């Protein structure tokens, strides 16, 4: 697992051990940053389920101004600190050991972010709760992007299903918004693509 490009290009990052974390693959990470490549420079980043910290670190390497990285495991947070120092991007990071919901409650009304990465454990159901908390807490800057990683359950050979917009919207409504159509109506869905077992969905809050 390495930084793909930018100031820390090629730096090898450490990944948390165990089965509780699932680092984003290089292929998926490259796809994500291809989608948002013109929305990184000078931006404020939040990685709410940071794991190794590789997504926020990649954004910083590509020119983001600052990043907040949150993880509930002290061991994982220590690893994020090591990775940030190794890439010489530590000074641009704020790294905290906290539960995502506790962080949102504490930062609501005080912090705003341009890029938000949401990649919790697939079966956790945290993404809809996080999105609502960020939106209700006024933490999403105008024109911000939320990058969500969820599990793709469509079989690889079901090509027509993979391209079906109706099927995609059903999965997005369920996995991203927890079935809440009112919450979904508050966002524009900019992109949703499948990469093997992962669906990447990029959202932007609608202007009020």
The angle at the Cα of 66, spanning 64 to 67, to the nearest 5 degrees, equals 105
Whether 19 has a pLDDT exceeding 60, the answer reads no
Rounded distance between C-alpha atoms, residue 140 and residue 146, angstroms: 9
Question: pLDDT at position 74, please?
Answer: 95
Name the burial class of residue 11, with classes exposed (0-12), middle (13-18) and buried (19+) by CB atoms within 10 angstroms of its CB.
middle
Question: pLDDT at position 139, please?
Answer: 97
DSSP code of 138? T
Residue percentage of the chain with pLDDT more than 70: 97
Rounded distance between C-alpha atoms, residue 38 and residue 131, angstroms: 23
Domains of the chain plus CATH, in order, are 26-153 (3.40.50.150)
Q: Which two tokens stand for residue 94?
A: 């704020």
Where does the pLDDT of residue 21 fall: very low under 50, low under 70, confident under 90, or very high at 90 and above?
low
Decide: 128 and 99 in contact? Cβ < 8 Å.
no
Helices (H) and strands (E) in the chain, counts: 8, 7
Residues 86-119 have pLDDT tens digits of 999 999 999 999 999 999 999 999 999 999 999 9
Rounded distance between C-alpha atoms, residue 172 and residue 156, angstroms: 18
**DSSP assignment of 109-161:** TT--EEEEEE---GGG-HHHHHHHHHHHTT-EEEEEEEEEEEE--S-TT-HHH
Decide: 149 and 199 in contact? Cβ < 8 Å.
yes
Question: pLDDT at position 26, please?
Answer: 85
Q: Tell me the average pLDDT across 63-90.
A: 97
Q: Tell me the average pLDDT across 18-34.
A: 80
Q: Tell me the average pLDDT across 17-29.
A: 75
Residues 165-196 have pLDDT tens digits of 888 899 999 999 999 999 999 999 999 999 88
Question: pLDDT at position 17, please?
Answer: 78
Residues 126-148 have pLDDT tens digits of 999 999 999 999 999 999 999 99
Give the per-residue SS3 of 149-199. Answer: EEECCCCCCCHHHHHCHHHHHHHHHHHCCCCCHHHHCCEEEEEEEEECCEE
Q: Which two tokens stand for residue 33?
A: 């940053």
């Amino acid at each position: 697992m390495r930084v793909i490009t930018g100031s820390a290009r090629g730096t090898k990052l450490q990944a948390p051990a165990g089965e509780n974390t699932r680092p984003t693959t290089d292929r998926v990470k490259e796809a994500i940053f291809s989608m948002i490549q013109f929305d990184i420079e000078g931006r404020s980043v939040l990685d709410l389920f940071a794991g190794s910290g590789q997504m926020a670190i990649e954004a910083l390497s590509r020119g983001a101004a600052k990043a907040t990285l949150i993880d509930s495991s002290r061991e994982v947070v220590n690893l994020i600190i090591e990775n940030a120092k190794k890439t010489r991007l530590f000074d641009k990071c704020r790294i905290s050991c906290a539960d995502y919901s506790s962080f949102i409650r504490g930062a609501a009304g005080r912090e705003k972010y341009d890029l938000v990465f949401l990649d919790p454990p697939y079966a956790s159901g945290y993404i809809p709760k996080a999105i609502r908390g960020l939106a209700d807490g006024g933490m999403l800057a105008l024109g911000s992007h939320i990058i969500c990683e969820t599990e793709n359950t469509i079989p690889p050979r079901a090509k027509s299903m993979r391209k079906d917009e109706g099927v995609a919207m059903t999965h997005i409504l369920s996995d991203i918004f927890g079935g809440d159509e009112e919450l979904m109506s508050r966002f524009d869905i900019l992109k949703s693509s499948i990469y093997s077992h992962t669906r990447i969905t990029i959202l932007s809050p609608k202007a009020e």
